[in-house]
Structure formats: C-alpha cells, structure tokens
C-alpha cells in the first residue's frame, strides 16, 4: 500500500512537471495532431493513473483536458479539440472564471460560511437573479445537484402541500420510462437503466411509471390513483435517453392534467434548463409553468456544483424550519458563481443564440443524414441540445462509443448515450464555423472510418436482454 502510494506520488509529480509546460495560455502554433504518440505523452500517463486509482464509474473518451477557451479544449500535448458535450450541459455559458474566482475570493475574505444559522448578504442577489430569470416566487438552494431532486421527493411526495390532500406515506410519484434524474437511491429507484440499479438496493417504493409523451396513460393513471399521487416528475426533453422530444402539445396537456387531478407538475430542467434548448427553460417552448422546477448543471457555470428548486410560495413554504437543510446550500462562492452564470445567459442572449444556431446545426446534420440515409436514423434536437441516432442494423458491430472515439481522433469531443446515439450539445458560445467543423467531422468519420471499423469488428451479439428494464414486473404500470 505504502509502495503504491509512493509510486503514485512520484508519477504525479513527474506528470505535473510535464503538464505545467503547456499549462497557462492556450498553446501557440498547435493545430490538431491526429496521431500523438501515446507512449511518450503525459495524457497517456494521466489516463493510466486515473484508470489505476479512480473508481471506474464513468466510461470516458480518453482525452485529458489541460486548457480550455471558448469551445476549444487542449490536451497536455497541445492538441486542440472542439467541445460538443459541454459537460452534459453544465458549461452552457463560458464564463470568465478568473473574474468570478477573484470576486468570490473577495467575498470569502469578508464573509464566511453561515450554515443557515444567520443570513448572508451574497445570497440575496442570487435569490433575486434566479427568481427573476425563471419567473418563480421562491427558491431552495442545494449544494449538490442530485440533492435538488432529493429535496422535492422528501418534501413534496409525502403530503407536504396541504392542497394535495395525499395521505401520508401512501403518496406516489409518477415518472417516465427512460427518465434520468440522478444517482440517489430515490431516483435510481425510478430509473429504467439496469446499469444504474442492478446490484444496488433495496430500492424505494412509492412510484409508478408511464411512457414519456403518452398523455392517455397519464390521464388513466391520474384517474385511477389520483387520490394517492403527489407529483408527476419529468424532463421536458429526455437527455440521457437520447434527446427525446415529446409530441407537440405534451407539456400543455401535462399541465392541464396535473391541475385537473391536483398533482404537482415537477420539471427536472437540470439538463434542459438555462438556455440549452433555445429558451430559458425548455417548458417555455409551450409556455407552460410547472409547479416545481429543478435547476442544476449550468447554474454553476461549469465551475462548481450549484442546484436549486424553484416554486411559488404555496408550495415552497410548506417546508418549515428544521425540516430540510444543506450545509453548503447557497454558500458565498456558489451564490457568486450562480449570479454570474445567470447574468452571462441574459447579457449574451444565449437562449436566442442557442435557438438560432441549433436550427443551423440541425440543417447541417440533416445534410450529413442525406448522404448516409441508411446509417443515420434520425437527427433531432431543440436549440443546441441535439442527438444523432444511428441505425443499429447498418451500424452493425460498431457502437456510438466507437464513433465518438473516431470523432475525438479527428478533433471533436462528444459522448454516446446508449449504443446508437451520439449527443451533440456544444457550449452556447460555439461559432457557426465551429459547428460546421463538427458536422464535417461526423461526415468524415462515417465516410472514412466507419467502413474500416465495421471490417475490423466481428458481428454484434443481440443485446435485447440487457436493454429490457429489470424493474418491469414489480414497479411499472406500463411497459418500459
């Protein structure tokens, strides 16, 4: 143990010495070098170290970020990449970190954490910014994002709102097949993703599922179980499921049904919110106002985790002192960062920009689809929240992850979701030329790399067993 610690320290100090040479201003005079030598690169050493010592809870595309500016990323060797992921929409806005950290340090030097026991001058502008930007009357802050989802379960599912009249401990939350709301026990209990649930448990009861976009089933379940249902939790566009857009009018009908049956409409806008889809909130596309909105990711501007639950006072003030808390919720640094994040979105008109550039980007991607109609099944998205879904049959043994590896080799960073979908969600500051570069690179991968990959890989085995939801027999009201 001691030896492995010492060797880790030795390796780290060597890697840091090497990395420091390229750290600072973005490296000059480097374009993308498509074949850096992995054995001599500090990237490879860092990848090996991470693989050796970090939990393997993600399956990253093997690239190390050393420097970033706008939509560009540099690795320690000075290779430049375009970011088409934005940390799953946590970096919607590229904010001036130096400025924020400077202001935050000043804040810290004059104020310390107050742990909810006193009041804090910095918290008020954050409250004001969030409430004004999203048009709600009250806010609950959290330190970690999943805690945002945790909060509304804890507080709203168990008859906290007097007007819900749901019997304590019998309350149900309805969620959607294919949903993703984080990794806490409460929300993985709703997940249809076997990898998130297998081997973990016991899962929580108290929830039922409906198909996303299916208002007939929602109406049925509300009608049959309405007296027990506290809330309907949904993503306005399902992100992890592969940027799944519901049918037109879905959000409006959900609003009507929730009002009719006295059920809280709870929108998880952690990924879709804050200008990502071309509106401040994705629910704004149908001018729908949920009872509860959860924000995370971009609220922290990609700098630190900040999350918040927004609601009006009739809902929010059901929480009484002592019933809920978060040690670091609304701390000065988080408040400062969140204020800046919201300011940048408004000042730079990022929602409008996302809408405009998103249309252009899909236009480009549709042209790629026209050239590979058998391979690309669908291009879909709203604003700069987009996905390309491949045809699993014609992709054959190649996965969306393999395609992402080839995109990376050609200087474009994206991540797959499921076996056949690549999500394309660049920072909202990305230029038209850079978007064009992204679609051109996808074209190159499909034209030049895909045939070689298909030759190199044996036929795929059927994966039906692994994609069928394990929870189906016990928890789901509908098929999943």
Ligand X SMILES: Cc1ncc(COP(=O)(O)O)c(C=O)c1O
Residues that bind ligand X (CB under 6 A): 88, 145-146, 149, 180-182, 235, 239-240, 268, 270-271, 296
Strand partners, 376: 390
Question: Considering beta carbons, is residue 66 or 189 the nearer one to ligand X?
Answer: 189
* Nearest distance in Å: CB 376, ligand X: 24
Q: Look up residue 348 and give its two tokens.
A: 């730079």
- 297 belongs to the catalytic site: yes
Question: Considering beta carbons, is residue 271 or 441 the nearer one to ligand X?
Answer: 271
CA distances from 166 to 220, 231, 262, 473 (A): 18, 10, 10, 26
* Nearest distance in Å: CB 423, ligand X: 11
Question: Considering beta carbons, is residue 239 or 301 the nearer one to ligand X?
Answer: 239
For 323-364, the DSSP string reads: S---TTTT-HHHHHHHHHHHHHHHHTTHHHHHHHHHHHHHHH
The residue assigned the tokens 């001036």 is 96
Q: Which of 297, 377, 406, 415 is catalytic?
A: 297
Question: Considering beta carbons, is residue 57 or 109 the nearer one to ligand X?
Answer: 57
- 180 belongs to the catalytic site: yes
21, 28 in Cβ contact below 8 A? no
Question: Considering beta carbons, is residue 166 or 304 the nearer one to ligand X?
Answer: 304
* Nearest distance in Å: CB 291, ligand X: 17
Residues 324, 135: Cα–Cα separation, whole Å? 23
- 268 belongs to the catalytic site: yes
Question: Considering beta carbons, is residue 88 or 261 the nearer one to ligand X?
Answer: 88
Strand partners, 293: 267, 310
Q: Which of 83, 193, 268, 449 is catalytic?
A: 268
CB within 8 Å of 449: residues ≥ 6 apart: 406, 409
* Nearest distance in Å: CB 120, ligand X: 23
Angle at 62 between CA 459 and CA 12, to 5 degrees: 145
* Nearest distance in Å: CB 480, ligand X: 18
Residues 405, 422: Cα–Cα separation, whole Å? 11
> What does DSSP assign to residue 424?
E
* Nearest distance in Å: CB 147, ligand X: 8
For 379-416, the DSSP string reads: EEEETTEEEEEE-HHHHTT--HHHHHHHHHHTTEE-EE
Catalytic (active-site) positions: 180, 268, 297
């Amino acid at each position: 143990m001691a030896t492995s610690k010492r060797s880790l320290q030795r390796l780290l100090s060597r890697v840091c010495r090497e990395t420091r040479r390229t750290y600072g201003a973005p490296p000059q005079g480097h374009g993308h070098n498509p074949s850096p030598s992995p054995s001599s690169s500090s990237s490879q050493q860092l990848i090996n170290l991470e693989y050796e010592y970090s939990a393997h809870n993600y399956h990253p595309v093997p690239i190390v970020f050393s420097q970033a500016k706008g939509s560009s990323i540099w690795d320690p060797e000075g290779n430049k990449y375009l970011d088409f992921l934005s940390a799953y929409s946590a970096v919607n806005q590229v904010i001036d970190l130096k400025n924020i950290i400077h202001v935050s340090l000043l804040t810290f030097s004059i104020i310390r954490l107050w742990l909810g026991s006193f009041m804090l001058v910095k918290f008020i502008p954050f409250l004001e910014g969030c409430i004004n930007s999203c048009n709600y009357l009250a806010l609950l802050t959290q330190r970690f994002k999943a805690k945002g989802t945790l909060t509304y379960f804890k507080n709203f599912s168990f008859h906290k709102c007097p007007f819900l009249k749901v019997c304590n401990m019998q309350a149900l939350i309805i969620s959607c097949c294919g949903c993703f709301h984080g990794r806490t026990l409460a929300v993985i209990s709703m997940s249809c993703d076997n990898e998130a649930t297998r081997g973990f448990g016991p899962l929580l009861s108290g929830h039922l599922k409906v198909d996303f976009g299916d208002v007939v089933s929602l109406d049925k379940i509300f009608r049959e179980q309405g007296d027990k249902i506290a809330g309907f939790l949904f993503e306005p566009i399902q992100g992890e499921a592969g940027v799944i857009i519901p049918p037109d009018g879905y959000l409006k009908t959900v609003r009507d049904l929730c009002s009719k049956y006295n059920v809280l409409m709870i929108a998880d806008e952690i990924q879709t919110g804050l200008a990502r889809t071309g509106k401040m909130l994705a629910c704004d596309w149908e001018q729908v106002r949920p009872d509860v909105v959860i924000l995370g990711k971009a609220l922290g501007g990609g700098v630190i985790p900040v999350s918040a639950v927004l609601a009006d006072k009739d809902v929010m003030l059901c929480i009484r002192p002592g019933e809920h808390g978060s040690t670091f919720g609304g701390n000065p640094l988080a408040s400062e960062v969140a204020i800046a994040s919201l300011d940048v979105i408004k000042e730079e008109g990022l929602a409008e920009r996302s809408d405009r550039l998103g249309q252009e980007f899909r236009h480009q991607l549709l042209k790629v689809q026209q050239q590979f109609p058998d391979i690309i099944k669908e291009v879909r998205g709203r604003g700069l929240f987009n996905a390309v879904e491949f045809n699993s049959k014609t992709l054959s043994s190649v996965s969306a992850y393999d395609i992402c590896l080839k995109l990376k080799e050609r200087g474009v960073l994206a991540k797959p979701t499921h076996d056949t979908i690549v999500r394309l969600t660049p920072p909202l500051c990305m230029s038209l030329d850079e978007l064009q570069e992204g679609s051109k690179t996808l074209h190159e991968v499909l034209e030049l790399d895909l045939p070689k990959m298909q030759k190199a890989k044996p036929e795929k085995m059927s994966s039906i067993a692994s994609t069928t939801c394990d929870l189906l027999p016990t928890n789901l009201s509908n098929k999943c």
